[in-house]
Amino acid sequence: MLLSRRLLAAVTTASALALAGCQSAPPPVIPAAFTPLGVSAPYLSADVIGGSRSRAAKMRAAKIRPLSPAMAAAYMANFDSELRRQTAGIGLDVLRVGDAIVVRIPAAFTFDAGSAGVKPQFDATLLEIARTVKTRNQTFVDVLAHTDTTGTSQVNEALSQKRAAAVATYLVGHGVAKARIASRGYGESAPLYLPDDTETKKAGNRRVEIRLVPYRG
């Protein structure tokens, strides 16, 4: 915790100096504690939401061509590199989980407490992601939303479902094909920190993830 506080203090000081030296605010910087969040949760390696067979049928109906097995690895590697370049400095985690890509968006960019409305900071972040995701259309797009353990499990599940749906709707509204997208709220059931007994851990558990899985023939 001491190291995290020092890192956060350093980030805060640097941000203040940057603001003093220029007219426009720099991209928001997130605490270093968000950076090393893990990728071992079982839900990240599970099949796509709704099942790959059903989702592939929707992709075919939308006339989206699948990737050949020979093309898939290079396609996802290029996609990964493109996302990292486009989101550099924004404060997101772009992670590889098997052959999929997970864009993990921490609490600082997502929603106000108790709200499923996309706030302005998150709007700008999502727009950058949508611009790349819509051009790489040979992927399934899963939107996953999570909460911390504050409140009841029923309330948290309902809130996370609304948040996941709000992000999915945003992506569709900015050019990502609806046939590619599914959403799911996990509530408090898939924490990255357990127990989330500090505010930093709670903030880490409140997150949205966009999982991009290759659509193969």
The Cα–Cα gap between 25 and 16 comes to: 10
The Cα–Cα gap between 96 and 143 comes to: 16
* Helix/strand/coil for 47: coil
Residues 160, 148 contacting (CB under 8 angstroms): no
The Cα–Cα gap between 88 and 55 comes to: 31
Residues 202, 184 contacting (CB under 8 angstroms): no
Residue by residue, pLDDT tens for the chain (217 residues) are: 333 333 333 334 434 433 344 444 444 444 444 444 567 788 899 999 999 999 999 999 999 999 999 999 999 999 999 999 988 888 888 999 999 999 998 877 778 878 888 888 788 888 889 999 999 999 999 999 999 999 899 999 999 999 999 999 999 999 999 999 999 999 999 988 888 888 888 888 889 999 999 999 7
- Residue-level pLDDT at 87: 85
Domain boundaries, the chain: 38-214
Around 71, how many Cα atoms within 13 Å sit in the side-chain half-sphere?
12
Q: H/E/C letters for each residue in 92-140?
A: CEEEEECCEEEEEECHHHCCCCCCCCCCHHHHHHHHHHHHHHCCCCCEE
- Residue-level pLDDT at 70: 93
The Cα–Cα gap between 119 and 181 comes to: 21
Residue 170 φ/ψ, nearest 5 degrees: -60, -45
- Residue-level pLDDT at 7: 33
Give the amino acid at 26: P
Greatest alpha-carbon pair distance for the chain in Å reads 54
The Cα–Cα gap between 14 and 16 comes to: 5
Task: Please check whether the domain covering 38-214 is classified as CATH 3.30.70.1380.
Answer: no
Residue 88 φ/ψ, nearest 5 degrees: -55, 130
Taking only Cα atoms into account, the Rg of the chain, rounded to an integer number of angstroms, comes to 18
Q: Please choose, from the candidates 135, 121, 139, the residue with its C-alpha nearest in 3D space to the C-alpha of residue 208.
A: 121
- Residue-level pLDDT at 37: 57
